[in-house]
Amino acid sequence: MTSVALLMFAAAVSAPADTVTITEWLVPWERTRPRDPYPDAQGRVWFVGQTGNYIAYFEQKTEEFKRYELDPGVNPHNLIVDKSGTVWYAGNRASHIGKLDPATGNIAKFMMPDTTVRDPHTLAFAPDGNIWFTAQGGNAVGHLNVTSGAVRLIKMPARGARPYGIVTDPENRAWFAQIGANRIGRVDPATMELKEFTLADEGTRVRRLVRTSDGIIWYSDYARGHLGRLDPASGAVREWPMPSGARALPYAMEVDHLDRLWFVETGVRPNLLVGFDPRTEKFFSSTPVLPSGAGTIRHMVYHEPTRTIWFGTDTNMLGKAVVPAAVTLTP
């Protein structure tokens, strides 16, 4: 595995916004689907090139990119960065989770113990530092012990459940969407026991979900254009139609330090970054992702120290949205 020297590229392009400021940078490797950026402690923003078979970072101060090559056919889907700066990625078409040492470029691979679970999809750190992940095509959720390298898997009881987005809670449990069914699942690391929560409408299909500080699970319904709220204590579900309605196709979703929800409506052009305040139960922000239009924003990460949301686009851009400091904005 080799790395490519730092590259300077075009200056950032910014677009007017109604409540947030969005800036985009064109990634210098064409048609590689840069996605799932993740800031590290040094201010670098790491991302994968899903169709380019690379891991890269963007240096914000100099606006330079550096690329690390992966083997052909890995097609990385997602990455996360731990406190030491180690990069962990999902080798989506090569049946492994990879660990990249940025200082040396060396990669360690943790293979799936079940050959049918071939496609690690989205990764999430638990508070204890270990990693949970989904495997959509493999119909499973997995747990990687970062110290021992041991991988444990749990298959979904229903065929075609297709685990997708994933988050963790203070008890180190994983919460995940099942895009093939109207269910959200939870797995406990001590027992690998699965608990499933059925959502109200049979047509609901969830790609991404988040957890607010009160323990509530929020989800975006890609099929029906709704924002949903699941109370794990009671199993009660509430929903709000999204501003763009049934055509919204909500995909990427995040929560900020004030427990405000942010999601992207990808069914409209340009994509819209929308804010929702659970305290007022109101949508308070809608910002076009310009100038690129985004194509589709599939995943994003909130960086609390800078109040920024980072995302990649199908138009080969790396994007940053600066969210407002106010608790609630006037529509």
DSSP state of 306: G
Confidence category of residue 325, pLDDT binned at 50, 70, 90 = confident
Per-residue pLDDT, averaged over 229-252, amounts to 97
Which residues does 331 contact at the CB level (< 8 Å), separation at least 6? 282, 283, 284
Q: Is residue 328 in a domain?
A: no
Phi, psi of 278 (to 5 degrees): -60, -25
Whole-angstrom distance, CA of residue 6 vs CA of residue 100: 17
pLDDT of res. 8 = 42
Per-residue pLDDT, averaged over 156-162, amounts to 97
Three-state secondary structure string covering 258-282: CCCEEEEECCCCCCEEEEEECCCCE
Q: In what order do the strands lie in the sheet with 3-8?
A: 3-8, 64-69, 54-59, 44-49, 34-39
| CATH number of the domain where residue 77 is located | 2.130.10.10
pLDDT digits (tens, 9 = 90+) for 198-233: 999 999 999 999 999 999 999 999 999 999 999 999
CA-based nearest residue to 270, from 292, 248, 254: 292
pLDDT of res. 7 = 58
Q: Is residue 35 in a domain?
A: yes
pLDDT digits (tens, 9 = 90+) for 37-85: 999 999 999 999 999 999 999 999 999 999 999 999 999 999 999 999 9
Q: Is residue 193 in a domain?
A: yes
Q: Is residue 206 in a domain?
A: yes
CA-based nearest residue to 12, from 2, 26, 1: 26
For residue 13, the enclosing domain spans 3-322
Q: Is residue 329 in a domain?
A: no
Q: Is residue 57 in a domain?
A: yes
Q: Per DSSP, what are the bridge partners of residue 103?
A: none
Q: How far does Cα 2 stand from its chain's mean position?
A: 26
Q: Is residue 238 in a domain?
A: yes
- Domains held by the chain: number: 1
Q: Is residue 278 in a domain?
A: yes
| pTM of the entire predicted model | 0.94
Single-letter code of the amino acid located at 266: T
